[in-house]
A and B are shown apart, each in its own frame.
Chain A
Amino acid sequence: MDMASMKEEDRRFSIILTFCIMFMFWLLLSAWTVYLPEPYDFSKVSRGVLAALIVTFLTYEMFVPGRGTKVLLKLRRFIPYVGWELWQIYLATIDVTKRVFGILEVDPQVIEFDTTLRSDFALVTFANSITLTPGTITIDVEPERGRYIVHAIAKGPAESLTVDQTMQKKVGYVFMEE
């Protein structure tokens, strides 16, 4: 999003939010330099503030392009989804391990299907999720139609995307794009 099309209120919001995140990040990465030798050393903290300010003014337009709708609700739905996704990573690795050692068969196929997802963040989340879940990897995405081209290592994983569609429904529920 370019600078001219951004409203004044939106710009203030995005500068403040970016600064808060950047300063939190600086604290997380270098809190020991502030905390350990002598607590509340002003010159060290002010260097952190300065660094956060510079990064904020360079990147706020890309980092927070505008005020999204219902961000908190989406965030609350996103956290359980991350937990579910970690469980899927575990299952995916077990699945590939079985195929490597010849317990399950390898019968690859390329499939295409459409989804109802349209926003960038939903598309990226779903593409990453496909790659992390058992037996499937995203090859390509067409954002206009929400169309995915996916390489599946066997018939079972392919059908879980085209027939069951559990993950589409979960991502659609998180981003409210059903």
Chain B
Amino acid sequence: MLAIDVISTMFLAAGAFFMITGTVGLLKFPDFYTRMHATGKCDTLGQILIIVGCMIYEGFDFITIKLLLVTAFYLLAGPVSTHALMKAGYVTGVPVWKKGDKRM
């Protein structure tokens, strides 16, 4: 039981670390597009690690299958939503930050 606790806590902690990194990036990066890089990518791995941590903690059950399906759906939907926001920004003419420009 203890081993399962330790392993699942490691997964959850790693997931939380990447989620926090994404948030720091969201606040630190200079413009809309680079901010989407931070949130879009860190969230995917953070979410997967947290779900895997939950799976290990709960033990293998029918619930595990549902969690796996949630992961699969997130892998499909995460990039699509990121891309939809990026396209909306690009089409409506949000300026792209270049190196040396002022922070937006």
**Same assembly:** yes
Knowing A93-B41, A131-B83, A137-B40, the reply to whether A149 touches B90 (Cβ < 8 A) is yes
Q: Count B-side interface residues using an 8 Å CB cutoff.
A: 40
Knowing A108-B34, A128-B76, A137-B37, the reply to whether A89 touches B83 (Cβ < 8 A) is no
Q: 1/0 per residue A81-96: CB within 8 Å of B?
A: 0000000011011011
A101 proximity list for chain B (CB < 8 A): 21, 24
Q: Which of B21, B34, B40 contacts A106 (CB 8 A)?
A: B34
Q: Which of A90, A131, A135 contacts B79 (CB 8 A)?
A: A131
Q: Count A-side interface residues using an 8 Å CB cutoff.
A: 33
Indicate whether A177 reaches chain B with its CB closer than 8 angstroms: no
Contact indicator A106/B79 (Cβ below 8 Å) = no
Contact indicator B38/A89 (Cβ below 8 Å) = no
Q: List 23 A-B contacts (CB under 8 A).
A: A28-B69, A29-B66, A89-B44, A92-B45, A93-B21, A96-B38, A96-B42, A99-B25, A100-B25, A106-B30, A106-B34, A108-B97, A127-B79, A128-B79, A131-B82, A132-B79, A134-B41, A135-B37, A137-B82, A151-B37, A151-B86, A153-B34, A153-B37
Which A residues are closer than 8 A to B by beta carbons?
28-29, 31-32, 89-90, 92-93, 95-97, 99-101, 105-110, 127-128, 131-132, 134-135, 137-140, 149, 151, 153
